[in-house]
Every structure is written in structure tokens, then in C-alpha cells.
Amino acid sequence: MQPGCFPPPVVQMAQFQDVSKQSDLHPKPAGLVLQYGTAGFRTNAKLLDHIMFRMGLLATLRSKKTKATIGVMVTASHNPEEDNGVKLVDPMGEMVTLTWEGYATQLANAEQEDLLAALKDIIEKEAINMSQEADVFIGKDTRSSSASLSKAVLDGVSALGGHNKDYGLVTTPQLHYMVCCQNTQGKYGEATVEGYYKKFCQAFIQLTKNASNCTDDQKHLSVDGANGIGALKLRELESHLKKELHISLFNDGSTGKLNHQCGADFVKVQQNPPTGMKVNSGERCCSFDGDADRIVYYYTDSEGQFHLLDGDKIATLISTFLKELLTQAGLDLEIAVVQTAYANGSSTNYLEDTMKVILRCTKTGVKHLHHAAQEFDIGVYFEANGHGTVLFSKAAEEKVQQLAEDSSGERKRAALLLQNTINVINQTVGDAISDMLLIEAILAIKGMTIQQWDAIYEDLPNRQLKVKVSDRRVIDTADAERRAVSPTGLQEAIDGLVKKYGRARSFVRPSGTEDVVRVYAEADTQESADALAHEVSLAVYRLAGGVGGEPKPSH
């Protein structure tokens, strides 16, 4: 057939017969409605078989449409073990577009007998050439449900005649990396797990070779693997590090339960060390989340006090390092930091007033930060929860490379460091392993302890709470979620409460992953932050249709 021509209807019918037959093996529970949320579908694993099959279909269509390889990751990240989820990865390793998120929801919610019509609707709207070849990469996390659910994705791909490559157990960022490598014909790296280790570890070793004063003590890092896939992959990676980093791995999945009282989300929200980990006073520790796309650092001091170094502190460390290198290299590149409303006020002030970098604030969710970061030569983006990475424009990468070739002395040294920094970063998405290597390299090069890093600025005490309401969609926000525009009176109530406390700030937003409204508050003392969060929770409860008992003070 000629490229660009539609196949004769008979071919389409045959393809759809296969879809019909296979779909009967993955039936949708009648009446079940699920939404492609901030990071894909995510709910109890028992409800997801038909979703997985249908996402296999959709990924195949997306591949035909883009004429590129598409990724499907089966994971529910930091959610409990009983949950699972799925997200689609676009050709350059980024999140799937908004329009296709909409198709995902349509396809997921079509009743069994309406599936073919829903499928044909997408094919027509997108004018998809069904004779185009399709390729889908699939990965899964360590949940017990992931094996059969990823099998359902494969069924969906083959029902539409797509080719698949099943990577089995990989972290979410590893799958993003594979998709990008494949679609750049290997320019981004080799599309294998081995290729991933080689690329990032080689860059790490190149970087740390400049840190000649780094002692064995400073090379030690304790990692909480959240009992998830990140732990397995870190074990595989270790041999590639050539002893330049000594990792003590805890919560490696051999005994503990996934994300249970451990992992980056637990540590960030509870502001406590994870269970299952030996935290020696003063020692550098970090936690991954369940699919290893988030990382937070921490230590306890000699008084047993816990100190968290979250995404904001990470963004500050990385952007400071990059800015210094740019100055040393004499390169005039624009560097920006992208945050969300959850960024600690102290970090925002420091970046703006002391570092004087360009700052942007976007809505919660990686895709929003990622898009904003793409607008600059160098865009450092991090959510406070530890999800983030750095994006370099093509022009910026070329300038760095040119300088590394043409210069000498200090400028060359800085350019080479920048080049290896680019190579140690997974630019497709936030990646706990790659972020960890970058942070470890920066600390080694700067000869900086975690305490010195922590002292760059002092976090404002803060508190996050959730409130149950009958319909969280009654809350509408503006200004990157920093202001509530509905229900009437809520923002005024928050403004009134905030005025009572020193250096205070608070906002509320409907969660994109849970049926709750989230409340954030910060102030000059922990007592004030706790009290403000509680009072704002009460305002939400009263003005936005709270259900169950009134929120109680948390501390």
C-alpha cells in the first residue's frame, strides 16, 4: 500500500475483530469510570485489567500516529502495594499530550459494547493510517499485580497488530530513557538497561575524577529503596560505579512492603526517616519512591533532629553548581528554575534574591514543569516532593561542546564538567538514580557536606494536610494553584487566616491522584504552620462541602 493511504475497510474490520475477541478477555466492569489523572490511571489493581488492555490499544494508535515508538509503564509509584497504574510515554520520553490524555479517558470509560466505536472515533479524529507500523515499549514495577497487568497491555498492542518490546522490571525513568534512545536512533544512548547504566555511570566517573580530595567517608551514601524497583536497579548499577560511590542499600524489597513507612513520599510528608533504615547521626541518606522517579535527601544531627533536603534544596544545589560552571566557562546561557506552589518560600526567596536566577511557578504535575523548563537554555525543574531534572536546549548543548573542544585552561575544565553534567542527567523525566549521581558528584566536586548543603538557606516550617469533601471539583484554582477562585469566600478566608501569622503562606488544591483536597501552609514556626494548616482545613471543610467529621488539629 502507498504510504499515507488508508487500508481497505476489510483490513480494518479484521483488525477490529481481533480487538473484539481480545477485549472479551479483558472486560470492563460496567459503570466503572476512571480518569487519566496527573500521572495516568491509578487505582486498586483489581480494577485495572481492561484499562491496561485499552492502553495497549491506545499506545499502538499513538505510535501509528507519531510514526515513533511509544512507552507504556505499569506502576502506581508511591501508592500502596494493592494499587497499580499506567502511564503513556511520548516519543521524546515526555508525558503524552493533553488531547491524548482525553482519548485515554474516553477509551477507558467506553462500555464493553462501545469500545470499537470509541476506537474508531479516535482513529478518525486523528486521521490515523492503520497500515502504519507500530512499536510499543513496555515496563513494569515490582508490584505483584504488575506482571498480569503488563500482559494485558501486550494483548492490547498485539490486538491492533503493533510490535512490542517488553523490558520487564524497570524504573519509570528507565522506560522514558529507552523510548527517547529508540526514537533518536541511539543519539541519546543505547536503548538497553545496560546502556542506561553505562551512560550515566561513565558520566558520573568522569565528573568525580575531578574531585581528588573526596575521602572514602564522603563517598558513602545510605539509600532507602522504598522496597521497590529502584532498589533492584541500584544493585545492578553498583558494579558500574567502580567504587566511586559506596552505597548501603536499605528497604531493598527482600523483606519489607513496597512504600510502607518508607520511600521518598513517606519521608517528605511525615518529615521523618523511613523505617527499615539505619540512620547514623550526621550521615548522608536518601530515599527513592516506588518507581524511582523521585528522590529526597536527609540526615539526623547529633541531637537526633531530622533534616530534610527536598526537591527545593536539590534544585538550589544543582542550579548553584551550574551557574558557577557557566561563569567559569564564560558561557552566556540563560538558566531558570521551575517550581510549584509547594516550593518552600525560603527556597523561592533564595533563588530570586541571592542566586538571581529566572524563576517560574507552574501547576503541580511533572508535565507542567517540564514544558516550562523547555523554554530556557537550561531549565532546572523540581517539585518539592523530589521529582525533577534539568533540561538543556540543543543550542546550549552545542555551545558547551564547542567550548570543550576549542578552549583551554579553566574554561575548558568548566566546559568539560558541564558536558559530563549533561550526560549524567536523564533529561526525559525526573530520575532518582540519575539525580542521585548528579547530587553525589556535585557534593564531591565542591567538597561539600550534607550539612553545608542544608545550610544554604533555612526552610520555613510547613505542614501538608488533606480534607475530604463530597466533590473536590468545586475547588477551582488560578495563578499556578496559588489562589482559589471557587468556592466563593474561600480565598478571602485563607487570606484572613494567613495574616495572623508571621512569614505565612497557604493554598489549597484538589488532588489529581486522590479523592481529597490538599492544604499547604508555611509560617515562621512549626506551631504556626500547624495551626494555619488546621484553620485552612476547617475553612475548606465548611466552604467546600466537607464530609465526615471536622478536621482536628494535627499536633
Q: Does residue 259 interact with ligand 16G by CB under 6 A?
A: no
Name residues contacting ligand 16G, limited to 486-525 (CB under 6 A): 511-514, 518
Could you tell me the three cell numbers for 19? 480487538
Nearer to ligand 16G, 54 or 87 (CB): 87
Site string for ligand 16G, 367-396 (x = CB under 6 A): ----------------x-x-x---------
- Scan residues 75-94 and list those touching ligand 16G (CB under 6 A): 77
Q: Which is nearer to ligand 16G, 161 or 512 (CB)?
A: 512
Q: Name the binder of 530 from ligand 16G, Mg ion, none, CB < 5-8 A by kind.
A: none
- Pick the catalytic residue from 20, 23, 63, 77: 77
Give the alpha-carbon dihedral of 166, 172, 177, 178, to 10 degrees: 0
d(CA 351, CA 329): 21
Q: Please, what is the minimum distance in Å from the beta carbon of residue 290 to Mg ion?
A: 6
291 binds, among Mg ion, ligand 16G, none (CB under 5 to 8 A by kind): Mg ion
| Least distance CB 428 / ligand 16G (angstroms) | 12
Give the nearest distance from C-beta 192 to ligand 16G in angstroms.
23
Count of residues that interact with ligand 16G, criterion CB under 6 A: 14
Strand order in the sheet with 378-382: 358-362, 335-340, 378-382, 388-392
Number of residues forming the site for Mg ion (CB under 5 A): 4
Q: How far is CA 381 from the centre of its chain?
A: 11
| Binding string, residues 404-443; x marks residues near ligand 16G by CB under 6 A | ----------------------------------------
Which 3 state secondary structure label does DSSP give 543?
helix
Give the interface segment with ligand 16G, choosing from 305-313, 350-358, 363-371, 473-481 (CB under 6 A): 363-371
- To which residue does cell 545510605 refer? 222
Q: Which three cell numbers stand for residue 357?
A: 536566577
Selected from 77, 79, 183, 344, the binder of Mg ion by CB under 5 A is 77
Q: Which is nearer to Mg ion, 295 or 336 (CB)?
A: 295
CB–CB of 396/460 below 8 Å?
no
Plot region of 551 (φ>0 → left; ψ -120 to 50 → alpha; else → beta): beta
Say how far apart CA 391 and CA 318 lie, in whole Å: 12
Q: In what order do the strands lie in the sheet with 220-224?
A: 246-250, 220-224, 285-288, 295-300, 306-309
* Interface with Mg ion in residues 242-301 (CB under 5 A): 289, 291, 293
181, three cell numbers: 534512545
Q: Cβ of residue 288: shortest distance to Mg ion, in angstroms?
A: 9
**Count of other CB atoms within 10 angstroms of residue 398:** 11
Q: Exposed e or buried b for every residue in 81-94, given b needs 16+ CB within 10 A?
A: bebbbbbbbbbebb
Catalytic annotation present for 77: yes
The Cα–Cα gap between 311 and 342 comes to 10
**Does 510 sit behind a cis peptide bond, omega within 30 degrees of 0 on the bond before it?**
no
Site residues for ligand 16G, window 31-50 (CB under 6 A)? 38-39
Query: Cβ distance 177 to 426 under 8 Å?
Result: yes
Q: Least distance in Å: CB of 438 to ligand 16G?
A: 19
Active site residues: 77
The binding site for Mg ion (CB under 5 A) comprises: 77, 289, 291, 293
The binding site for ligand 16G (CB under 6 A) comprises: 38-39, 77, 364-366, 383, 385, 387, 511-514, 518
